[in-house]
Structure 1
Amino acid sequence: MKTLTQTDTQLFHWLFGLTAKRDCRWIVWMSRTGDGHLYLLLGLLLWLFEAEHGALFLYSALLAYSLELPVYLILKKFLRRQRPCDLLHNFSAHITPSDKFSLPSGHTAAAFLMANLIASFYPSMMIFVYCWASIIGLSRILLGVHYPSDILAGAALGLSMSYFSLSLL
C-alpha cells in the first residue's frame, strides 16, 4: 500500500508540475463542464426533442445519479482522504475544492456516468464522450485537487452506477 501511495503522489506531482506556474483558465473551464449543470440540460433537451431514446435516457440518468450520489458521499466520509492541496506542504491548488476530501473524484464519477449513458444510447458519440470524461478527470489532477487514484476510483464509481441503472431499466 505504501508503494501505491508513493507512486500515486509522484504521478500527481509530475502531472501537476505541467501546470504549476501556468495560466490554467482553459483547464478550469474544462473541469467546470463536469459540474453537473450540463448533464441536466442535456437530459432535458434529449427528453424534449429526441423521441426515440430521450425519455429513457433521462430516466436512466436520473436513476444513475440518484444511486451514485449517496455512494459517493458515503465513500468520501468513510475514506476521508485529504486532498493534495491540504496534505502537501508549500502547495496550493489552482482552484478551491468544493469539499474537504478527495477520494473518489465526484467530477470524474459524474462525467464517466454520463459518458457511459451517452455511449450506450448514442454509440457514435462514444469516443468523444469518453475522451471528454477523461479530460475532466485529468483536469482535476492538473488543478491540484485530486490524486490519480481518486480519478480512477471516480471513473469506476460512475461507470458501475451507469451500468447498474441501465440494467435496471
Structure 2
Amino acid sequence: MPDGGSPVPLPAGVVLRLLRADDGPALAAAYTRDRARLEPWEPTRPENFFTADGQADAVRTTLREHDAGRCAPFVLEHAGRVVGRVTLSDVVGGAFCNAHLGYWLAGSVTGRGVMTAAVEATLEHARDALGLHRVQAATLAHNAPSQAVLVRTGFERIGFAPRYLRIAGRWQDHVLFQRILHDG
C-alpha cells in the first residue's frame, strides 16, 4: 500500500508513493512542465502555485490534512521526477465513509495504463487502510480520457452537475461518478 512507506510499482516504470514534506520543488517543476496541458482541466492558479515555495506551502497544508485523516495524498514518480498526483480528499467516516478522488498525469507518461493502475492502487488503499465504502469523482463533461480511466477502474456514472466547478476561469459542467468499494 502506498501509505505503508513502500512505493507501489506501476506500468512504464512509474511508482505511486505517499506525498513527502520535501516534494515542493519537484511538484513545482512538474506543474511548470505540464502547465499548458493542465490549464484547461484545473482551477485558475496564481503564479506562486508554480514555485517551489508555493508548492512547499501546499505540501505542508496537505500533509496536515493527511495527519488529521482528511486526505490521502499520493505522488506519481518516474526516474526521480514527479509525473502526477492522485489524492483522496474530503475523507469522511461515520455513516458516509466516503472520499473524493482527484488525479492528473504528465503528458510524457499518458496512454500507458499508468493512471488506471494508480487509481486501482488508491482505491485498494481507500478500502483496506481507510475503511471507506465509497469513492466519488467528477470530470469535466468533455474530458473523455479521464472518464475512461474511471470506467476502467469500476466507477459508474451517477449524474450530471451543471456549472459544478470553476475550472479554467469559468463554471463548467461535470459528470459525476462513484465506486462502491465493498458491500455490506
TM bracket, shorter-chain basis: 0.3 to 0.5
Tell me which protein shows more helix as a share of its residues.
1
Tell me which protein shows more strand as a share of its residues.
2
Structure number with greater Rg is 1
